[in-house]
Amino acid sequence: MFEEILPNLYRVEVPLPGSPLQSLNSYIIRGAQRSLVIDTGWNREECRIALTSGLRELTVDLEVADFFITHVHADHSGLVSELATNVARIYFGWADAVALSSTESWRWEKQTSFACIHGFPEEELQKAMAGHPALKYSSEGRSDFDILKDGDTISVGDYSFGCIETPGHTRGHLCLYEPTKKIFVAGDHVLLDITPNISLWSDERNPLKEYVISLDKVYDLDVELVLPGHGSIFKNYKERIRELKHHHRARLNEVISILEKGKLNVFQVASQMSWDIEYESWDLFPAAQKWFAFGEAMAHLKYLEEEGKAGREMQEQKVVFFVEDKWK
């Protein structure tokens, strides 16, 4: 099944079984010579059937299709290596292309070690990794990506998109903007139904700061229609950006109020934050959801630390955070 958004621009909803996200929006732009597929879904059978069925209904031949991947996460990139032919171009942001091409075991060992020293319990960590979709449904094979950067263009049929680097949700996240038709392909940068997860898994970045800067970067674009990676297509572009910035300001204040009770590790902070998820208590959260909550708590703590509002120290071989005296 597909939905026509504009002439030769379509959406196929790709199911994400068992995920709170429910589905991915894959966008297909049909051109006279070649077509473009934007994001693919996980590397699993249900996703492949849904996307390839939609492509067949649209008479889009994979032999003459290229791919634009907004970011590295498996729900957006998982099927691309299976679907892309040897002559297909796969457009990617540099940092995310590197992440996808890197040795998986090394990357995940680094992340789990980081989580452990910041308080993620070992037993919960094993459960989170066992069910993590990125480990189960990621792309395999192709690594010869066409790297895009700010200002590069992709033209397909009557559409000419400019590429915009929007780090935050991932380091190499990309969006597309069609100025003539005022379309913004948002990936997971601006979503209507949920707030994008902003997570941190090393001390090398400040992803929440990157994300806020990226929101400001695209705010003044003249946009009439937003095509997000998940959920509803929408029009209230600037209003939604303002709402997302307000959400994170409120989250930062919430983290400060939690730390005012005493020194805590990241897992403890996450357990006391408010989450829009249908479980009565933190203890009932699936391990995979604790993993995402932990990453988001870490991103907010890193932001506060760089703002001078929070500090850290080692306590019983774990990192704990606290409110700096001047902000108490």
- pLDDT tens column, 163-220: 999 999 999 999 999 999 999 999 999 999 999 999 999 988 999 999 999 999 999 9
The band of 270, judged by pLDDT with boundaries at 50, 70 and 90, is very high
> Would you say residue 96 has pLDDT above 80?
yes
Question: What confidence tens digit (pLDDT) does each residue in 283-323 have?
Answer: 999 898 999 999 999 999 999 999 999 999 999 999 999 99
Position 223 scores a pLDDT of 98
pLDDT tens-digit readout, 36-76: 999 999 999 999 999 999 999 999 999 999 999 999 999 99
| Percentage of the chain exceeding pLDDT 70 | 97
Q: Do 295 and 201 contact (CB within 8 A), yes or no? A: yes
What is the set of domains in the chain, with CATH numbers? 3-103+139-237 (3.60.15.10), 106-134+245-327 (1.10.10.10)
Task: Kindly give, in sequence order, each residue whose CB lies less than 8 Å from that of residue 119, ignoring residues fewer than 6 positions away.
Answer: 265, 266, 267, 268, 318, 319, 320
Distance, CA of 287 to CA of 126 (rounded, Å): 9
State the pTM of this model: 0.94
CB 327 within 8 A of CB 311: no
Cβ atoms within 10 Å, residue 75? 26
Question: How far is it, in rounded angstroms, from Cα 16 to Cα 139?
Answer: 15
283: how many CB neighbours lie within 10 A of its CB? 8
Compute the distance between CA of residue 188 and CA of residue 27 in angstroms, rounded to an integer: 14
Q: What are phi and psi of 8, to 5 degrees?
A: 65, 20
Taking all residues of the chain, what is their mean pLDDT, rounded to a whole number?
93
User: In the prediction, which pLDDT does 279 show?
Assistant: 84
- Angstrom distance (rounded) from CA 322 to CA 266: 11
Give me the pLDDT at residue 144, please.
84
